[in-house]
Chains A and B, each alone.
Chain A
Amino acid sequence: MSAPGVEAFLANLYSDAALRESFLHDAETVMANLPLTEIERAALIEIDRVGLQMAAASYAKKRAHHRGKREFSGSRFWTFLFRR
């Protein structure tokens, strides 16, 4: 798999809870149809499993925060500053 392909797989793994659960249960089956090199496949099987779960939880929290932030677009301060 190309380097962009590996990044895309990681992005998927970081953001898709079901895929991540399957991967942690049986990484080889999840990767079976991916055009990975043997080196990439071995590296992904050796992935930092604890770190994967912790990073994914952190990213999920950030995505939720971004969604909340987009819903609050007002800025009373800037309005106040400009009107002074």
Chain B
Amino acid sequence: MAAAEAAVGVEANVMIRDDRVGLAWRDALAGGILAHLDIIDVVEVIADDYFRTSNRRIRALNTLARQVPLYLHGVAMGLASAIPVEQKRLDAMARLVNAMEPQGWSEHLAFVRAGGIEIGHLAAPPRTNEVIEGTLANIATAAKTIGALPQLENIATLISPPCSTMNEAAWTTQIIRLSGAPLMLDLHNLYANAVNFGESPEALLASMPLDRVQCVHLSGGVLINEPGNTGKQRLLDDHIHDVPDEVFALLTELATRAPQPLTIIIERDGAYPQFNHLLCQLTRAREALAMGRARMHLSEPLQVAA
């Protein structure tokens, strides 16, 4: 039995070595990130910040890409829409991908503009078959222009998407399965939607296409009061608070259910704490991941060597 436990431990360690944990790049965190590249496995950069920038900044980003595995993350393409994505945004991402040669690029399952109006942030479109069709067309165009499929990220929403005919998990699963694109699973977004619309976070997680997850986002948020003194609150995904315990628990659950290597990225967009505090959050992510991996291996039938 001791030998079997040791074997499980060895297997878990092998799997953990394939997982990676890193941070989203923000200029305010640059010094801390560069000083700790020995313990930061991967960095994710907001691509849109570099679409219209100087050659000097591009060269600096190239310098970073030579030091650490880098992902590009888009925030304003508006792929999840019945409206065709703007070619100029795809061309800008293609230029950056060519210049950086990142490990991958990602975008949100959101619409951000329509009818000439910029919403200003990621909005959940109606979850309908028509929007799925438009989204699939947009993903295909993006993959053709950029040369690789994006990882597609689930978004948080304060409003239940109007005119929807299916739930989040069914809608997301259809897009992921039909497009062939990987899922970038934002666990705080998932948690926020579960809190806001009265679902079980664990059940929502279980209903997502977990076999397609490659990258995972972790972040924090804050409960805000509903208008009208109802006494109720909704969770705003603001990226300026620590990753809550519930989200680390979801990471453990994901690592138990999804055997493929996972890349975990913590996002922080403001109210920056001391960098050591962010490093502690990275450590907590590694621990949550390791706990899930250990559970996964314990639940597998032991292979007895012949």
Residues of A with Cβ closer than 8 Å to B? 2-12, 14-15, 40, 43-44, 47-48, 50-55, 58-60, 62-63, 66, 75, 77-79, 81-82
Shortest distance in angstroms between B177's beta carbon and chain A's nearest beta carbon? 20
| Chain B interface main SS type | mixed
> Which residues from B are CB-within-8-Å of A58?
121, 158, 236
| Interchain CB contact under 8 A, B126 and A6 | yes
- Identify A81's interface contact among B30, B114, B227, B228, CB under 8 A: B30
Interface string of B142-166 (1 = CB under 8 A from A): 0000000000000001111011100
How many pairs, one residue from A and one from B, have CB atoms within 8 Å of each other in the complex? 118
20 pairs across A/B with beta carbons < 8 Å? Answer: A4-B115, A7-B115, A8-B114, A8-B116, A10-B126, A11-B111, A11-B114, A14-B119, A15-B118, A48-B160, A50-B227, A50-B232, A51-B158, A52-B159, A54-B226, A75-B27, A77-B27, A78-B27, A78-B57, A82-B56
| Interchain CB contact under 8 A, A47 and B162 | yes
- Identify B60's interface contact among A11, A14, A15, A81, CB under 8 A: A81
| Interchain CB contact under 8 A, B163 and A59 | no
| Interchain CB contact under 8 A, B226 and A82 | no
| Interchain CB contact under 8 A, B120 and A10 | no
> Which residues from A are CB-within-8-Å of B59?
82
Does any Cβ of A come within 8 Å of B131's Cβ? yes
> Which residues from B are CB-within-8-Å of A78?
27, 56-57, 60
Does any Cβ of A come within 8 Å of B113's Cβ? yes
How long is the Cα–Cα vector from A7 to B230 in the complex, in angstroms?
A: 29
| Interchain CB contact under 8 A, B159 and A62 | no
Shortest distance in angstroms between B267's beta carbon and chain A's nearest beta carbon? 15
Contacts A9-B115, A48-B162, A52-B159 supplied; 6 other A-B pairs, CB < 8 Å: A7-B83, A7-B111, A54-B236, A58-B236, A60-B120, A77-B30
| Interchain CB contact under 8 A, B163 and A40 | yes
| Interchain CB contact under 8 A, A51 and B119 | no
Shortest distance in angstroms between A31's beta carbon and chain B's nearest beta carbon? 12
Say whether, besides A14-B119, A62-B120, A78-B56, A54 and B158 are in contact (CB < 8 Å).
Answer: yes
| Interchain CB contact under 8 A, A54 and B224 | yes
> Which residues from B are CB-within-8-Å of A47?
159, 162
Does any Cβ of A come within 8 Å of B82's Cβ? yes
10 shortest interchain CB distances as A-B pairs:
A8-B115, A51-B159, A63-B120, A3-B82, A3-B130, A7-B114, A62-B121, A11-B114, A55-B159, A48-B160
Shortest distance in angstroms between A49's beta carbon and chain B's nearest beta carbon? 9
Say whether, besides A44-B163, A54-B224, A78-B27, A7 and B158 are in contact (CB < 8 Å).
Answer: no
Shortest distance in angstroms between A30's beta carbon and chain B's nearest beta carbon? 14
Shortest distance in angstroms between B211's beta carbon and chain A's nearest beta carbon? 29
- Identify B159's interface contact among A4, A48, A79, CB under 8 A: A48
Max chain B C-beta neighbours (<10 A), residue from A52, A62, A66, A78: A78
| Interchain CB contact under 8 A, A63 and B228 | no
| Interchain CB contact under 8 A, B83 and A55 | no
> Which residues from A are CB-within-8-Å of B227?
50, 53-54
